[in-house]
């Protein structure tokens, strides 16, 4: 494929606002997980973004007020992202800048709160509840477009935990087709009762902080966050700085089970192989793999099987969800931004909270940080329903 360039990027998660804070937490091996105290729910640990409850939207109309859009607004204020988008708008025109973002639950917390305030006589929620601007999956791109002043096409991708990774693929199609000249790509997902209680009902929430790849791992810690990049054709705007290049991707849908991964890892293998093929790379040319690595028994085992089938024991890999928690539809963009930070710093983070690496694992899982040059990173995202996406980023 023709490489695309990431000319700006931003991120907000439980380990900090912006690339600098995120990098410092990774280097110090400082997790953002804490015991859950969300609306009376005390199951497990969560990756909660500090200050989101008190955040006031800097732009956008009142109909967009919700936790998910607050996270998106916080992200837009980091790493000069606002300014970078305005420069792209000035260069291309507002109608040539699109928004393609992923989310799995959008602003559903607002609907949960509204349901608790339903009028018992009429059955209607309070008049302050704006479903289209909060819970609706299309709320996020509409908010971003209004906030950032873009007028190009909008798209929401809701592919479970692969949502914001898959957004890169759809954005690439739009750029290749000439639908737009620049795309705001990324996503946001926020803590809500449905995901906290839903994953707990499936028996997938760990009592303590999640321990991806550990021999006695016991489940996930749910997190929240947001992140965005500005994706453009290489060389189209010569004065724009380049953070990294998107050189390959692979997607598949194995459809094995609604919530369990294919134990044979066929879809995950296809996604990684296709990403390598599109990037014209051999497996040994990848310097680091950011695992989806949720911390559940079956997911981590499946991914280890897939990674070892494609890469053997030759490429270091780890999961960073011990820092951020599993941010669901936002995990792809948050881990893409982690990948960009690693290429800039030359740091590879080993999995957090691992006492003993699962002895049956065959891939090169790291449990301690290592300093080494990182030029190419593969970032994996595998979601419910058998949706798989692997992205390859290359240093500028």
Secondary structure letter of residue 35 according to DSSP = E
> What average pLDDT score do residues 107-133 get?
93
Could you tell me which residues come within 8 angstroms of residue 336 by beta carbon, excluding any fewer than 6 positions away? 9, 164, 165, 168, 227, 229, 379, 391, 393
HSE, side-chain direction, 13 A CA sphere, residue 205 = 21
User: Does 39 have pLDDT greater than 90?
Assistant: no
Q: Give the pLDDT of residue 259.
A: 66
Angle at the Cα of 220 from the Cα atoms of 216 and 225, rounded to 5 degrees: 145
Instruction: Please answer whether residues 157 and 101 qualify as being in contact, where contact means their C-beta atoms are separated by less than 8 angstroms.
Output: yes
| pLDDT band at 191; cut points 50, 70, 90 | very high
* Count helices and strands in the chain by DSSP H and E runs: 11, 17
Q: What is the mean pLDDT of residues 367-373?
A: 97
Catalytic residue among 161, 192, 213, 351: 161
Q: Determine how many CB atoms are found less than 10 A away from the CB of residue 179.
A: 14
Which residue, 12, 30, 10, 2, is CA-closest to 320?
30
- pLDDT tens, residue by residue, 50-74: 999 999 998 767 899 999 999 999 9
Q: What is the DSSP string of 135-194?
A: TSTTHHHHHHHHHHT--S-EEEE--GGGHHHHHHHHHHHHHHHTS-SEEEEEEEE---HH
Inter-residue contact 111 to 338 (CB < 8 Å) = no
At which residue do the structure tokens 């608790």 appear? 116
Please list, in sequence order, all residues whose beta carbon lies within 8 angstroms of the beta carbon of residue 128, skipping any fewer than 6 positions away. Answer: none
For residue 266, which phi and psi values (nearest 5 degrees)? -65, -45
The CA distance from 206 to 218, in Å, is 5
Residue 261 reports pLDDT greater than 70: yes
3-state SS assignment for residue 322:
helix
**Which residue of the set 66, 76, 180, 326 is catalytic?**
326
Q: How far is CA 222 from CA 27, 59, 303, 328, in A?
A: 22, 28, 19, 8
Average pLDDT over residues 145-162: 96
Question: Which residue did the predictor score with more confidence, 127 or 379?
Answer: 379
* Cβ contact 257:36 at 8 Å: no
**Residue 190: how many CA atoms within 13 Å on its side-chain side?**
25
Give the pLDDT score at 102: 98
For residue 21, the model assigns a pLDDT of 97
**Which H or E element spans position 342?**
helix 331-345
Looking at residue 262, its pLDDT comes to 79
For strands 16-17 and 33-35, give the pairing: unpaired
**Tokens 């996406």, located at residue:** 389
Least confident of 56-65, 121-130, 201-210, 271-280: 56-65
The pLDDT of residue 181 is 98
CA dihedral of 205, 210, 211, 215, whole degrees rounded to 10:
-20
pLDDT band at 32 (very low <50, low <70, confident <90, very high): very high
pLDDT at 254 over 90: no
Give the per-residue pLDDT at 384: 80
Of all residues in the chain, the percent with pLDDT exceeding 90 is 90
pLDDT for the residue 258: 66
Cβ burial of 165 (10 Å; 0-12, 13-18, 19+) is buried
Residues 35-63 have a mean pLDDT of: 91
- Place 355 in a pLDDT band, splitting at 50, 70 and 90: very high
Least confident of 117-126, 190-199, 369-378: 117-126
Q: Which CATH number fits the domain 4-395, given the four candidates 1.10.443.10, 1.20.1430.10, 3.40.47.10, 3.40.50.80?
A: 3.40.47.10
The band of 383, judged by pLDDT with boundaries at 50, 70 and 90, is confident
Residue partners of 123: CB distance under 8 A and separation at least 6: none
Domains of the chain, residue spans: 4-395
Task: Note whether 152 and 98 are within 8 A (CB).
Answer: yes
Q: Are 329 and 164 in contact (CB under 8 A)?
A: yes
User: What per-residue confidence (pLDDT) applies to 48?
Assistant: 97
User: Is the Cβ–Cβ distance between 214 and 300 less than 8 Å?
Assistant: no
The pLDDT mean for the chain works out to 95
Residue (of 288, 309, 259) closest to 380 by Cα position: 288
> Cα separations (Å) of 354 from 171, 267, 367, 373?
36, 27, 7, 24
CA distance 22 to 49: 12
Q: Is 55 a catalytic residue?
A: no
Catalytic annotation on 180? no
Q: Is 66 among the catalytic positions?
A: no
Greater pLDDT, 209 or 62: 209
pLDDT at residue 269, rounded to an integer? 96
* pLDDT value of residue 265: 86
Position 40 scores a pLDDT of 87
């Amino acid at each position: 494929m023709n490489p695309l360039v990431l000319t700006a990027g931003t991120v907000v998660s439980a380990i900090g606002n912006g690339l600098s804070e995120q990098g410092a937490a990774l280097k110090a091996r400082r997790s953002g997980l804490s015991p859950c105290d969300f609306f009376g729910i005390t199951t497990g640990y969560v990756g909660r973004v500090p200050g989101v409850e008190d955040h006031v939207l800097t732009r956008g109309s009142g109909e967009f007020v919700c936790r998910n859009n607050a996270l998106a607004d916080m992200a837009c204020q980091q790493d000069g992202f606002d300014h970078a988008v305005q420069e792209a708008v000035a260069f291309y025109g507002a109608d040539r800048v699109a928004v393609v973002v992923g989310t799995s639950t959008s602003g559903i917390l607002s609907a949960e709160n509204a349901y608790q305030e339903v009028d018992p006589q009429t059955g209607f929620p309070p008049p302050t509840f704006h479903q289209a601007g909060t819970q609706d999956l299309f709320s996020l791109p509409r908010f971003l477009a209004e906030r950032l002043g873009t007028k190009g096409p909008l798209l929401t991708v809701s592919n479970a935990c692969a949502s914001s990774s898959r957004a890169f693929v759809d954005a690439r199609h739009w750029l290749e087709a000439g639908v737009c000249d620049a795309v705001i790509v990324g996503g946001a997902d926020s803590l809500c009762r449905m995901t906290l209680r839903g994953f707990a009902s499936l028996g997938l929430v760990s009592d303590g902080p999640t321990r991806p790849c550990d021999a006695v791992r016991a489940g996930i810690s749910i997190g929240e966050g947001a992140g965005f990049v500005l994706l453009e054709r290489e060389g189209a705007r010569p004065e724009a700085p380049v953070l990294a290049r998107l050189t390959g991707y692979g997607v598949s849908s194995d459809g094995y089970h609604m919530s369990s991964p294919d134990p044979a890892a066929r879809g995950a293998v296809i996604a990684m192989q296709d990403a390598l093929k599109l990037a014209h790379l051999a497996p040994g040319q990848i310097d680091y793999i950011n695992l989806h690595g949720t911390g559940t028994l079956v997911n981590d085992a499946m991914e280890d099987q897939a990674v070892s089938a494609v890469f053997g024991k030759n490429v270091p890999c780890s999961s960073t969800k011990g820092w951020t928690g599993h941010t669901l539809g936002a995990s792809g963009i948050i881990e893409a931004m982690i990948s960009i930070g690693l290429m800039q710093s030359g740091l590879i983070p080993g999995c957090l909270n691992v006492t003993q690496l699962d002895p049956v694992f065959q891939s090169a899982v790291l449990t301690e940080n290592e300093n080494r040059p990182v030029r190419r990173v593969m970032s994996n995202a595998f979601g419910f329903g058998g949706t798989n996406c692997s992205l390859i980023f290359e240093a500028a």
